[in-house]
Structure 1
Amino acid sequence: MRLRFIPLGIVIGFFVAVIAMTASVRSFAALQSSDVPTWLQAHVGDGDGQITQIVLERARALYLKKVAQGTVKNPCYFAMDATRPGDLGNGVLGRRYYVVCEASQSFRAISSGHGGGRNLKGVVDFSNGRRCSKNFGNAMDSELTAGGAYMTGEAKTSFKGYYRVGAKQDVAFQRTFIQFDGEGEAANARQRVIGGHAAQVLRGMCLRKSPNSSYADHDGYVPFGKLVDYAGGRSNGCTSWSPTDTQQIISMVKDNPTTLYIYPESRDIAAVAKAAASGHSLSGGLYWNASCLKEIGSPKFWPRKTLEPIIAQYKQDHPAPPPQPVPICKEP
């Protein structure tokens, strides 16, 4: 029998690869531990600027799952607690959106808007106040927040119009939208155009003559409006942040997707609503922000199979008026 010798370089390379793979597996196993790191545990709690235990555990589990699958390489992940108040009064915003970067031991809590819902007058009211959310759901055109697992998708920047910043000094307003892709009950996030963006919008739109603008239409007009910041208010179901926080988040996820977990899911809402109806206190793993639960009484989840037919019928019974042309601006 003839012996076949393997070159020493190949043997060494093989063992180096095995050692590297073993180290990688051990590193991930350590990260995968259900025990929250000590530095991160210091941020766990129910106070403003803290993250509740169950929200962190689910957000972390989602992130580790996607890392293990190889779909996420971003060192940071996001979480949102939509049961917390968005407005604490006196111009102070509640911090309920979390940016966690375990590799650099970084934790940030920032403000975020929530789905405002709608009041279909004479039919059904599933609207939310400025401070706390009572209603949640995943129906098309409901403008409600749906909790669950999401991944950040592509970032798309679009021109919205001009606004004035000084004496005859106009600035183009371009807003970037980060698409979210959801799972389970949130799987229709792309269909609903659910994502994240700055809590800014142009109001009172009119058309101003500006033929030299690259955004001018064929008649030489550009849209013009007043820039409004609604960081402390509600949204159409999307996640909205302050302009400064938005820039930082976009830079983190552009071409580098990560996970976002939004609490509560429908199962959480049903369990809390059941406890509230029976007069029992929340225990056994049930969680809702105490001040908001006291304010709303009991939360409700509106499934799309229930709400979408109602919204469709309302649209049919209340057709939208024909769109009116945007007026020409009255020059100051």
Structure 2
Amino acid sequence: MLLRSLTSHTVHILSFIIIVALAGLPRAFAAETKSDIPPWLRAHVGNNNGQIAPVVLQRARALYQQKVSTGEVKNPCYLAMDATRPSSFGPGKLGHRFYVICEQKRSFRAMTSGYGSGRNLRGIANFSNGRRCAKNFSNAEDSKLTTGGPYITREDITSFKGYYRVSSKKTEPFLRTFIQFDGEGDTANARPRAIGGHPAVLLHASCRKKDPKNQYADAEGYVPYGKLVDYGGGRSNGCTSWTAAEARTIIPILKQNPTTLYIYPESSDIDAVATAVKARRSLSKAGLYWNASCLKEIGTPKFWPKETLEPIIAKYKKDHPPGPSRPLPICKR
């Protein structure tokens, strides 16, 4: 009887130790131990285009459930992005690596999204990314690179960018909405970096017209005119960018209704994959993930921590000061 009591007591102590140990593990690892994904959603899990990798979904769900439980998020949908996937599979075939998941409605949407282009500071450091796959990641300001990790969507800001021509006789104002992100950990500086989500469309201003009564006129009474440039599925300055059509679906979901966004990979994932690649170890056997097509293309991924990269960027700026700004020319017609 005494032995049975001691054994039971020992089991309870061990159970408590295990629970405490698991509670101290990183959030990402804890999320990966979950297996409560509903069957309808499990059907969308995989490595093919239009599917979501298991680790990306598991971490995105864990982040969402955590923020819902604390009352910080009430939105019925959550977001995820896999920045290791390719932007395209050939001419006219865009890659889908951004996900909008609404479990109450059993809705799963895979969409395109841009990643950070990075920069090539010639003679100092090259942390640029190609058009198809991302090799470099960073949380440094002015790096123009993507940072993986947890985010929460915040306020939306719509701003005037200029006028563009829709026909030979008609022009329209281009207004673009930006969704601000807040982060934590590596992504904690998302706001000072102006990291968020927006349509992958910009206005390339070519001239300006005097129109002081125009509601969008600047202090001198001018408004810019230019041409719309659509870079859907391409690269961004570090933000999450969507095609114009997809943005019309995503932005209404997020307006005045914050939700979570989880972007893979985090810095620890990048470092672990880089170590495995250099050692020529199998990622799957090591319990790691990276899109195979992009890994073959980029070789070894790299995370540039802000503590390392920001001083490099600052030195480059000091050595290469910008020239004097020039106003846009006056439109001829």
Q: Same fold (TM over 0.5)?
A: yes
Does the CA-based 8 Å contact 2:159-2:176 persist in structure 1? Answer: yes
Report the equivalent of 1:299: 301
Does the CA-based 8 Å contact 2:44-2:51 persist in structure 1? Answer: yes
Does the CA-based 8 Å contact 2:162-2:205 persist in structure 1? Answer: no
Aligned to 2:166, the other structure's residue is in SS state strand
Residues in 2 aligned to 1:156 and 1:216: alpha-carbon distance in whole angstroms: 18
The total of aligned residue pairs comes to 300
User: Which amino acid letter does the alignment assign opposite residue 293 of structure 1?
Assistant: L
User: Which amino acid letter does the alignment assign opposite residue 267 of structure 1?
Assistant: S
Residues in 2 aligned to 1:56 and 1:103: alpha-carbon distance in whole angstroms: 16
Q: How does 1:151-230 map to 2 (within 5 A)?
A: 151-217=152-218, 219-230=220-231
Aligned to 1:320, the other structure's residue is in SS state coil
Q: How does 1:246-265 map to 2 (within 5 A)?
A: 246-265=247-266
Report the equivalent of 1:24: none
Report the equivalent of 2:126: 125
> TM-score normalized by structure 2?
0.88
User: Of residues 286, 289, 300 in structure 2, which corresponds to 1:287?
Assistant: 289
Report the equivalent of 1:113: 114
Report the equivalent of 2:27: none
Aligned to 1:225, the other structure's residue is in SS state strand
What CA deviation, in whole Å up to 9, does each residue of 1:278-332 have, x standing for no partner?
A: 111212320000000000001000000000000000000000111111111222x
Residues in 2 aligned to 1:320 and 1:252: alpha-carbon distance in whole angstroms: 39
Residues in 2 aligned to 1:212 and 1:89: alpha-carbon distance in whole angstroms: 47
User: Of residues 315, 321, 324 in structure 1, which corresponds to 2:323?
Assistant: 321
Among all aligned residue pairs of Structure 1 and Structure 2, give the percentage whose two residues are the same amino acid: 65
Report the equivalent of 2:310: 308
Instruction: Give unmatched runs, 5+ long, in structure 1.
Output: 1-32
Residues in 2 aligned to 1:82 and 1:322: alpha-carbon distance in whole angstroms: 36
Root mean square deviation, CA, Å: 1.3
Report the equivalent of 2:24: none
Residue 214 of structure 1 and its aligned partner are, at CA, apart by 1.7
Report the equivalent of 1:330: 332
Residue 249 of structure 1 and its aligned partner are, at CA, apart by 1.2
Q: How does 1:19-38 map to 2 (within 5 A)?
A: 34-38=35-39
**189-198 vs 82-91, which moves further:** 82-91
Residues in 2 aligned to 1:313 and 1:321: alpha-carbon distance in whole angstroms: 17
What CA deviation, in whole Å up to 9, does each residue of 1:137-185 have, x standing for no partner?
A: 0000000000000000000000000000101200000000000001100
Residue 211 of structure 1 and its aligned partner are, at CA, apart by 4.3
Residues in 2 aligned to 1:223 and 1:204: alpha-carbon distance in whole angstroms: 6
Residue 219 of structure 1 and its aligned partner are, at CA, apart by 4.7
